[in-house]
A and B are shown apart, each in its own frame.
Chain A
Amino acid sequence: MAKAKRVKGEWKRMTVQAAAFLLQNPKLHHFFLGTIEQGETKAVCVPGLNCYSCPAAIGACPIGSLQNTMSKSYKKPAVPFYVLGFLILLGLTLGRWICGWLCPFGWVQDLIYKIPFFKKIRTFPFERYLRYLKYAVLAVLVIGLPLYSAFKGVLVPYFCKYLCPSGTLLGAIPLAAGSAQVRAQLGAYFWWKMGVLISLLLLSLLISRPFCRYLCPLGAIYGMFNRIALVHLDYAPNVCVDCGKCETVCPMGIDPKKQFNSAECIRCGRCSRACPTESLQVRFGFAKKDGTR
């Protein structure tokens, strides 16, 4: 039976992921009412890909908000300064640590990957080229097409409309379950997005975090900050015994010894916990320990 590789202390990260989900979505009673939370806190962006149409959400999704603030009024596009400010500050402090510890959709994929019985695939030929897709999603679905639609008159958030699995999982499904009015309006777009979501969840049984690796525009943005973010991964080659354990446990399928600065690293710390010599450490701040890279 194929299993995801176990690493000691993983329960701590799982607990933080569960707590982060509840902190971002605490108004659980809306799930039973078929309504969504409408408090003032929804002017603030949350760090992860957490749909604002999730009934219990108390914050705004940064990718949805980025698209929707690209237009001031009819045929008047705008620079989304407010959301960009959020993304820059979050990226600078935490980088993709957000993906490893705070994002609800990342957590869901982690949970599904833990299900045994399916042969786990770490990587496959040409896989690394697929990883560039998320930059195309960011450039085309999040920036290019919404901006074009804003010039034309009515802004369309293409990423939300055609791809976002967080909107389907956290927004569409609970709202459809709780409201007959919503159910009555579901059509082709909903079934398309259900197809996307189900494909990604099935893929998560075999590959760790397929959405994060290949498609997520928010991961693409945070990844650009990984090299300078305060949360970083230190590697000490002088104590490394080259056992390769770190590589076998990495959920993003990278080699932590060579790619500790990579935009793909979600700072989950699994490599660090698997390392017998403490060569790899997730740290906070500018300082690097002596002998580390």
Chain B
Amino acid sequence: MKRGVRIGIFTVLAIAGTAFLLFGIFSGQAESVLKKAIRICMECIGIG
């Protein structure tokens, strides 16, 4: 892959990734992740 193309794709995805992350935080998904992560996950440990 040409260097310019690689940098172009990288930049677009970096902007998209940052936007996704910020939008996720503002829409409360970080809290949802926290809520799930601080309780024992029944599916993970084979109970649920």
- Interchain CB contact under 8 A, B46 and A60: no
Report A116-149 residues with CB < 8 Å from chain B CB.
none
- Interchain CB contact under 8 A, B36 and A88: no
A192-B46 contact in complex given A42-B38, A69-B33, C-beta closer than 8 Å: yes
Interface of B is mostly: helix
A189-B46 contact in complex given A81-B21, A82-B24, A228-B10, C-beta closer than 8 Å: yes
From A189, which residue of chain B is reached at the shortest CB distance? B46
Q: Which of A53, A59, A85, A194 is in CB contact (< 8 Å) with B41?
A: A53
Q: Which of B1, B14, B25, B43 is in CB contact (< 8 Å) with A89?
A: B14
- Interchain CB contact under 8 A, B33 and A187: no
Q: Which of A60, A92, A175 is in CB contact (< 8 Å) with B33?
A: A60
Q: Which of B6, B37, B46, B48 is in CB contact (< 8 Å) with A228?
A: B6
Query: Interface size class for chain B?
Result: 35 or more
A65-B20 contact in complex given A176-B45, A228-B6, C-beta closer than 8 Å: no
- Interchain CB contact under 8 A, B47 and A92: no
B-side contacts of A40, CB under 8 Å: 34
A212 within 8 A of partner (CB): no
A288-B18 contact in complex given A65-B33, A176-B45, C-beta closer than 8 Å: no
A227 within 8 A of partner (CB): yes
A160 within 8 A of partner (CB): yes
- Interchain CB contact under 8 A, B20 and A85: yes
Can you list 6 A-B pairs, Cβ within 8 angstroms, ordered by A?
A68-B33, A81-B21, A87-B17, A168-B45, A171-B45, A190-B47
- A-binding residues in B (CB < 8 A): 1, 3, 6-7, 9-10, 13-14, 16-25, 27, 29-34, 36-41, 43-48
